[in-house]
């Protein structure tokens, strides 16, 4: 059992709808989460911003991109046709995170499908290679709010529009039943158990709206029938309950619509996650009435996660997300979402027992900043994680030797158990590696990529693993660029720039070096063919400039070229356009 220090919160048995509403409000009045843990020791990572050329020409959207550049020392990649046009350039940069900055009418279901496939194509293995999020909104100011938000926030209080919200895996919260009128459950901070109540009103719409407007809910989880423009509260038929909708006529407003046809606006500012766990198409952006736009505009959502396709009995993405977020690991929301897709891919193409179907491989969207660290809060008492992860690195020699150990915290089944159940352990590395060789393991199967390891250690046909039982994976590798014996490499202190760009006869490429170091500066064409090496040697600290006239013989045709700088152990890329 997980135990932590108490912070004030009082509960009492509600007596009728009015006092139950009071209980909801009491639950929501909590201290603001501390941000200290998110601002300390974040380490170094590479952050890419992908944006359409025409979006990047609009001043208010440029502000969104520039904010991400300032926040994360991000590299910007622009495209005019398909994002595949810049896939090679992004792969050279090898980002840990990718923010796809997009105006809402371009953030379609087809775009989401392409983003998933784009991320799997950045190296030779079939798995995703970067944690991603789409930063969008009906107004550029909504996207700017996502881009300039906090480093992270604690997820302490859950509010469930469904009893499938895993209430006892959070420090505190309320789950409400979508199928039984009046039923709800409460969990207090220092009580591991959920308490059942049956005195709620028939229509929960006003309850949930009021609790969200109390500005202290950190994650709101829904399930049941949905569409891009609404969530139906009751399941399987609406009967006596209302809906949540987004209303374009009210200024892209998130709201509840009661059974009595009363519109109740949702206006909240505290950072939160909206998670459409089991709703069809609730993450799909079609027009200004789409739910995602309303929640990003008025309801305080810093993450909005939902399917852009129909959800069904064999969907797996969202079950994996909650598994790695709060059931078997405490990864950040975007990390858990990313890892869930890797597990889904593994199960789908390796015929993991029970994991049939999985039509949602590319069917869910995450709107928000992929590097924002929203995690389950480390306070109170709640269900223990299924297992603990440990990664030990021996970097004294070459290659490195890495040992990954999974230790069961309780008896359980660390593998695919159901669409919303457990998954195989995946360990996200705090580094990136290459030249991987598996030395030994006591698992059924393992997959090791440059940034994570999947350990398949249990099947549905087997007995649960015992508490304290372990599984181990040992592999050797070499560090990928940016990693060297635990010492962080210095960042370059300015962008890799070219002026003029576009150019006709010649352009001057500029970059700063924090110290003297080996440098390689190459020019590639858009297909990845090396056109010319401009620098291959050691340069001094400070501003360095190199002139490129379109090749030694000045014969390169008009088109897009990739400028790739490797300085020390870091790589940077930018696009150069030649017009002749």
Question: Does residue 455 come out as left (phi exceeding 0), alpha (psi in the -120 to 50 range) or beta?
Answer: beta
Q: Is 231 exposed, middle or buried (0-12, 13-18, 19+ CB in 10 A)?
A: buried
Q: What is the mean pLDDT of residues 337-356?
A: 95
More confident residue, 335 or 567: 335
Give phi and psi for 338, each to the nearest 5.
-65, -50
What lies within 8 Å, CB to CB, of 105 at 6+ separation is 285
Pairwise CA distance, residues 8 & 557, whole Å: 68
Confidence of residue 12 (pLDDT cuts 50, 70, 90): very low
- Each residue of 527-540: pLDDT tens digit? 677 889 999 999 99
Q: What is the mean pLDDT of residues 117-125?
A: 93
Q: What is the mean pLDDT of residues 499-521?
A: 87
Q: Which two tokens stand for residue 205?
A: 């719409």
Res 308 pLDDT > 60: yes
* Total residues found in the chain within this entry: 580
What local confidence, expressed as pLDDT, does residue 503 receive?
A: 87
Res 486 pLDDT > 60: no
What local confidence, expressed as pLDDT, does residue 571 receive?
A: 67
Q: What is the mean pLDDT of residues 168-176?
A: 97
Q: What is the mean pLDDT of residues 194-209?
A: 96
DSSP class per residue in 295-316: HHHHS-EEEEEEESS---TT--
pLDDT mean across residues, the chain: 88
Pairwise CA distance, residues 214 & 520, whole Å: 55
What local confidence, expressed as pLDDT, does residue 509 receive?
A: 92
C-alpha of 97 from chain center: 9
- Report CA-CA distances (Å) from 505 to 32, 45, 500, 548: 57, 36, 10, 9
Residue 445, SS3 per DSSP: strand
Please state the pTM of the whole predicted model: 0.82
- R_g over Cα of the chain: 25
DSSP class per residue in 312-353: -TT--HHHHHHIIIIIS----HHHHHHHHHHHHHHHHHTT-T
Bridge partners of 195, per DSSP, are: 186
Strand extents, DSSP E, 426-469: 426-428, 433-441, 445-448, 452-456
- Each residue of 43-85: pLDDT tens digit? 578 999 999 989 998 999 999 999 999 999 998 998 888 999 8
What local confidence, expressed as pLDDT, does residue 251 receive?
A: 81
More confident residue, 42 or 547: 547
What local confidence, expressed as pLDDT, does residue 34 receive?
A: 35
Closest CA to 320 of 366, 368, 379: 366
Res 132 pLDDT > 60: yes
Structural domains in the chain, sorted by start: 17-37+156-331 (no CATH), 387-479 (2.60.40), 497-578 (2.60.40.1930)
Res 398 pLDDT > 50: yes
Q: What is the mean pLDDT of residues 560-569?
A: 80
Strand extents, DSSP E, 491-549: 497-499, 507-513, 517-525, 530-539, 542-548
Res 280 pLDDT > 60: yes
């Amino acid at each position: 059992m997980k135990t932590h220090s108490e912070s004030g919160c009082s509960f009492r048995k509600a007596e009728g709808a009015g006092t139950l509403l009071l209980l909801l409000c009491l639950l929501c009045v909590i201290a603001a989460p501390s941000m200290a843990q998110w601002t300390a020791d974040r380490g170094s990572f590479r952050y890419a911003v992908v944006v359409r050329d025409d979006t990047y020409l609009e001043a208010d959207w440029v502000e969104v991109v520039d904010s991400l550049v300032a926040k994360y020392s991000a590299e910007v990649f622009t495209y005019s046709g398909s994002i595949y046009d810049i896939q090679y350039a992004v792969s050279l940069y090898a980002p840990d995170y990718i923010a796809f900055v997009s105006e809402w009418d371009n953030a379609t279901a087809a775009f989401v499908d392409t983003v998933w496939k784009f991320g799997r194509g950045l190296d030779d293995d079939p798995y995703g290679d970067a944690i991603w999020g789409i930063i969008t909104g009906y107004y550029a100011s909504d996207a700017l709010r996502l881009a300039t938000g906090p480093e992270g926030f604690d997820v302490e209080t859950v509010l469930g529009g469904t009893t499938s919200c895993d209430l006892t895996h959070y420090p505190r919260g309320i789950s409400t039943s979508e199928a039984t009128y009046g039923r709800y459950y409460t969990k207090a901070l220092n009580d591991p158990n959920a308490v059942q109540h049956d005195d709620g009103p028939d229509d929960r719409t006003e309850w949930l709206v009021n609790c969200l407007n109390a500005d202290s809910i950190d994650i709101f989880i829904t399930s049941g029938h949905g569409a891009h423009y609404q969530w139906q509260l009751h399941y399987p038929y609406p009967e006596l309950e209302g809906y949540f909708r987004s209303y374009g006529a009210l200024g892209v407003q998130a709201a509840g619509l009661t059974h009595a046809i009363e519109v109740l606006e949702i206006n909240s500012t505290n950072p939160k996650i909206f998670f459409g766990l089991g709703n069809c198409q609730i993450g799909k952006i079609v027009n200004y009435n789409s739910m995602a736009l309303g929640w990003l505009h008025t309801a305080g959502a810093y993450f909005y996660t939902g399917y852009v396709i129909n959800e069904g009995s064999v969907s797996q993405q969202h079950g994996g997300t909650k598994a790695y977020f709060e059931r078997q690991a405490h990864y950040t929301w975007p990390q858990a979402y990313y890892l869930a897709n890797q597990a889904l891919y593994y199960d789908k193409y390796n015929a993991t027992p029970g994991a049939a179907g999985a039509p949602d491989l590319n069917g869910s969207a995450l709107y928000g900043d992929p590097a924002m660290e929203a995690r389950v809060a480390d306070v109170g008492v709640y269900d223990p994680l299924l297992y603990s992860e440990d990664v030990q690195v021996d970097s004294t020699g070459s290659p490195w030797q890495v040992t990954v150990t999974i230790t069961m915290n309780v008896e359980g089944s660390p593998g695919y158990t159901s669409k919303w159940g457990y998954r195989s352990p995946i360990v996200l590395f705090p580094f990136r590696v290459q030249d991987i060789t598996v030395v030994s393991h006591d698992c059924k199967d393992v997959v090791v990529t440059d940034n994570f390891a999947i350990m398949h250690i249990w099947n549905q046909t087997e007995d649960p693993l015992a508490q304290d039982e372990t599984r181990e994976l040992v592999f050797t590798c070499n560090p990928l660029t940016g990693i060297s014996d635990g010492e962080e490499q210095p960042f370059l202190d300015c962008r890799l720039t070219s002026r003029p760009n576009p150019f006709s006869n010649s352009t001057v490429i500029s970059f700063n070096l924090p110290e003297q170091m080996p440098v390689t500066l190459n020019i590639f064409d858009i297909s990845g063919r090396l056109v010319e090496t401009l620098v291959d040697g050691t340069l001094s600290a400070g501003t360095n400039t190199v002139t490129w006239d379109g090749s030694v013989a000045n014969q390169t045709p008009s088109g897009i070229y990739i400028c790739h700088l490797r300085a020390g152990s870091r790589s940077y890329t930018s696009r150069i356009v030649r017009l002749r």
